[in-house]
């Protein structure tokens, strides 16, 4: 829903469904990258080694639980990253 709203706010006008799909795919990748970078920036340094092991194990649920436990106000941190992304995207 966030991506759909960004596309509408960017006002591309009348675009082909295939192009819209490509834009959505691109935005999803960019947003995921921004969220991942934000998480890495906010993991305490002393927790980074343990976090790296979780990443290597690839258990998404455990990673999410770990982040919730070790990043204060994770939801607010991610929301701020999304607001920042939106601002950058719409002003470019």
**Structural domain boundaries in the chain:** 2-8+16-90
Gap between the Cα atoms of 80 and 86, Å rounded: 10
- C-beta neighbour count of 20 within 10 angstroms: 13
pLDDT in tens, 42-76: 999 999 999 999 999 999 999 999 999 999 999 99
Confidence at residue 13, expressed as pLDDT on a 0 to 100 scale: 86
Average pLDDT, the chain: 95
């Amino acid at each position: 829903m966030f991506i759909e709203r960004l596309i509408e706010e960017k006002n591309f006008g009348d675009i082909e469904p295939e192009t819209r799909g490509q834009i959505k795919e691109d935005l999803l990748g960019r947003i995921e990258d921004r969220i991942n970078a934000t998480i890495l920036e906010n993991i305490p340094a002393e927790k980074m080694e343990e976090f790296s092991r979780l990443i290597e194990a690839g258990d998404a649920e455990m990673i999410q639980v770990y982040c919730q436990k070790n990043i204060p106000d994770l939801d607010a941190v991610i929301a701020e990253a999304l607001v920042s992304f939106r601002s950058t995207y719409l002003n470019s």
